[in-house]
Protein backbone atom coordinates (compact mmCIF):
# COMPACT_ATOMS: atom_id res chain seq x y z
CA UNK A 1 0.00 0.00 0.00
CA UNK A 2 1.54 3.36 -1.04
CA UNK A 3 2.28 5.78 1.72
CA UNK A 4 0.46 9.11 1.36
CA UNK A 5 2.36 12.35 1.72
CA UNK A 6 1.26 14.57 4.61
CA UNK A 7 -0.61 17.74 3.79
CA UNK A 8 1.62 20.78 4.07
CA UNK A 9 0.74 23.49 6.56
CA UNK A 10 -1.34 26.41 5.36
CA UNK A 11 0.84 29.52 5.19
CA UNK A 12 -0.15 32.44 7.45
CA UNK A 13 -2.39 35.12 6.01
CA UNK A 14 -0.26 38.10 4.94
CA UNK A 15 -1.10 41.60 6.19
CA UNK A 16 -3.30 43.74 3.93
CA UNK A 17 -1.42 45.02 0.91
CA UNK A 18 1.18 42.27 0.88
CA UNK A 19 -1.12 39.66 -0.60
CA UNK A 20 -1.52 41.60 -3.83
CA UNK A 21 1.81 43.34 -3.69
CA UNK A 22 0.09 46.73 -3.58
CA UNK A 23 1.19 49.11 -0.87
CA UNK A 24 -1.04 51.82 0.57
CA UNK A 25 1.03 54.52 -1.15
CA UNK A 26 0.77 52.79 -4.52
CA UNK A 27 -2.97 52.23 -4.10
CA UNK A 28 -3.45 55.92 -3.33
CA UNK A 29 -1.63 56.89 -6.53
CA UNK A 30 -3.73 54.64 -8.78
CA UNK A 31 -7.11 56.20 -9.55
CA UNK A 32 -10.05 53.81 -9.83
CA UNK A 33 -11.25 55.46 -13.03
CA UNK A 34 -10.54 58.69 -14.88
CA UNK A 35 -12.45 61.69 -13.56
CA UNK A 36 -15.75 62.35 -15.28
CA UNK A 37 -16.09 58.90 -16.83
CA UNK A 38 -19.34 57.60 -15.37
CA UNK A 39 -18.26 57.72 -11.73
CA UNK A 40 -21.26 59.84 -10.84
CA UNK A 41 -24.22 58.10 -9.16
CA UNK A 42 -26.63 60.08 -11.33
CA UNK A 43 -24.91 58.75 -14.47
CA UNK A 44 -25.13 55.17 -13.21
CA UNK A 45 -28.78 55.63 -12.25
CA UNK A 46 -29.56 57.15 -15.66
CA UNK A 47 -27.90 54.19 -17.35
CA UNK A 48 -30.00 51.86 -15.20
CA UNK A 49 -33.16 53.72 -16.22
CA UNK A 50 -32.24 53.38 -19.88
CA UNK A 51 -31.57 49.65 -19.51
CA UNK A 52 -34.87 49.06 -17.70
CA UNK A 53 -36.68 51.09 -20.35
CA UNK A 54 -35.09 48.93 -23.06
CA UNK A 55 -36.19 45.78 -21.21
CA UNK A 56 -39.76 47.10 -20.98
CA UNK A 57 -39.79 48.00 -24.67
CA UNK A 58 -38.50 44.53 -25.51
CA UNK A 59 -41.27 42.92 -23.46
CA UNK A 60 -43.85 45.16 -25.15
CA UNK A 61 -42.49 44.20 -28.57
CA UNK A 62 -42.78 40.49 -27.78
CA UNK A 63 -46.33 40.99 -26.46
CA UNK A 64 -47.30 42.88 -29.60
CA UNK A 65 -45.74 40.17 -31.75
CA UNK A 66 -47.74 37.46 -29.97
CA UNK A 67 -50.96 39.50 -30.15
CA UNK A 68 -50.56 40.02 -33.90
CA UNK A 69 -49.81 36.36 -34.58
CA UNK A 70 -46.05 36.70 -34.97
CA UNK A 71 -43.40 34.04 -34.44
CA UNK A 72 -42.80 34.79 -30.74
CA UNK A 73 -43.74 32.15 -28.20
CA UNK A 74 -45.47 32.68 -24.87
CA UNK A 75 -42.34 31.64 -22.95
CA UNK A 76 -40.42 34.43 -24.71
CA UNK A 77 -43.00 36.88 -23.39
CA UNK A 78 -42.76 35.47 -19.87
CA UNK A 79 -38.95 35.71 -19.91
CA UNK A 80 -38.96 39.27 -21.27
CA UNK A 81 -41.62 40.34 -18.77
CA UNK A 82 -39.72 38.76 -15.87
CA UNK A 83 -36.49 40.51 -16.88
CA UNK A 84 -38.36 43.80 -17.06
CA UNK A 85 -39.95 43.27 -13.63
CA UNK A 86 -36.64 42.32 -12.03
CA UNK A 87 -34.92 45.34 -13.56
CA UNK A 88 -37.67 47.63 -12.31
CA UNK A 89 -37.50 46.14 -8.81
CA UNK A 90 -33.72 46.58 -8.74
CA UNK A 91 -34.02 50.18 -9.85
CA UNK A 92 -36.70 50.95 -7.25
CA UNK A 93 -34.66 49.35 -4.47
CA UNK A 94 -31.56 51.29 -5.57
CA UNK A 95 -33.56 54.51 -5.44
CA UNK A 96 -34.95 53.61 -2.01
CA UNK A 97 -31.48 52.88 -0.61
CA UNK A 98 -30.12 56.13 -2.05
CA UNK A 99 -32.95 58.09 -0.44
CA UNK A 100 -32.40 56.28 2.86
CA UNK A 101 -28.71 57.19 2.75
CA UNK A 102 -29.55 60.80 1.89
CA UNK A 103 -31.98 61.11 4.80
CA UNK A 104 -29.45 59.51 7.13
CA UNK A 105 -26.75 61.97 6.04
CA UNK A 106 -29.13 64.91 6.45
CA UNK A 107 -29.84 63.86 10.06
CA UNK A 108 -26.15 63.85 11.02
CA UNK A 109 -25.18 66.60 13.44
CA UNK A 110 -23.07 69.34 11.94
Answer yes or no: is 61 within a domain: yes
Answer yes or no: is 24 within a domain: no
Expressed as residue numbers, the domain containing 76 is: 34-106
Band the pLDDT of 36: cuts 50, 70, 90.
low
Band the pLDDT of 40: cuts 50, 70, 90.
confident
Q: What is the pTM of this model?
A: 0.58
- The domain total for the chain is 1
Predicted confidence (pLDDT) per residue in 63-81, tens digit = 999 999 999 999 999 999 9
- Judged against a pLDDT cut of 90, whether residue 42 lies above it is answered with no
How does the average pLDDT of the chain come out, rounded? 81
CB 12 within 8 A of CB 55: no
pLDDT at position 15 is 65
Answer yes or no: is 46 within a domain: yes
Amino acid sequence: MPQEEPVSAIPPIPPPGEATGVTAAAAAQQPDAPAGVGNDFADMFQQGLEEVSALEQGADAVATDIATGGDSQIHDLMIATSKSEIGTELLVQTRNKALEAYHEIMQLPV
